[in-house]
C-alpha cells in the first residue's frame, strides 16, 4: 500500500501529464452480502475488521453516523459491484484530483468533510467533528451530485 509522493512524470511539460493523483488498492468485506460502490463515493477504513492489520486494508462507505466508518481514506476511482463472499478489491484515490460525491448546494472552493449520508461529502461547518478531506473545484445544484475536487492526503 505504500506510495511514493514524488512527482511521477516530468516528460513534456504539458500540464495534463500529471494531476498529482495517487491511487491505492484496498479490499472490501463482502461476507455480509453484495456490495456496490460508485465512482466518487467517499470511503473510510473498515474498523469492523477484527484483525488490526485488516482495519486499514479494508474500506467501506464513509459515514459520520457510524463509528466504524468515520475516518475517510479516499474516493472510489471507478464503479464496483461485488457478490457475497467475492474477493473484492477497489482502487481508491487517496490524494489528488478526482470525482467526489457531494451534498446539494456545494460551492466551488469550499472545504469538504464526510457526512452522515454514506459515501457522500458535505461542506465544512464550524461544528464539524472530522477534518477537511477535500476541496471542491465545482459547484452542485439543489441536489447532490458528483463534482471534481482535490482529495487531501489523510495518512
pLDDT in tens, 131-150: 889 999 999 888 889 999 99
CA distance 109 to 6: 25
- Beta-carbon contacts of 150 under 8 Å, excluding residues fewer than 6 positions away, are 96, 97, 98, 134, 135, 137
Please say whether the beta carbons of 108 and 139 come within 8 A.
Answer: yes
9-23 mean pLDDT: 63
Interval 52-106: pLDDT, tens: 999 999 999 999 888 888 889 999 999 999 999 999 999 999 999 999 999 999 9
In the numeric block, which cell numbers belong to residue 140? Answer: 452542485
pTM of the model: 0.86
Structural domains present in the chain: 21-151 (2.40.300.10)
Amino acid at each position: 500500500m505504500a506510495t511514493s509522493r514524488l512527482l511521477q512524470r516530468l516528460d513534456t511539460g504539458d500540464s495534463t501529464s500529471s494531476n498529482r493523483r495517487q491511487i491505492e488498492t484496498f479490499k472490501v468485506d463482502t461476507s455480509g452480502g453484495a456490495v456496490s460502490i460508485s465512482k466518487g463515493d467517499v470511503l473510510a477504513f473498515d474498523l469492523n475488521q477484527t484483525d488490526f492489520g485488516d482495519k486499514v486494508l479494508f474500506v467501506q462507505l464513509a459515514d459520520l453516523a457510524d463509528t466504524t466508518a468515520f475516518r475517510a481514506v479516499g474516493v472510489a476511482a471507478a464503479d464496483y459491484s461485488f457478490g457475497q463472499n467475492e474477493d473484492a478489491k477497489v482502487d481508491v484515490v487517496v490524494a489528488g484530483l478526482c470525482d467526489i460525491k457531494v451534498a446539494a448546494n456545494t460551492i466551488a472552493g469550499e472545504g469538504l468533510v464526510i457526512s452522515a449520508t454514506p459515501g457522500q461529502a458535505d461542506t465544512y461547518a464550524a461544528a464539524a467533528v472530522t477534518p477537511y478531506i477535500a476541496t471542491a473545484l465545482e459547484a452542485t445544484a439543489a441536489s447532490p451530485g458528483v463534482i471534481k475536487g482535490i482529495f487531501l492526503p489523510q495518512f
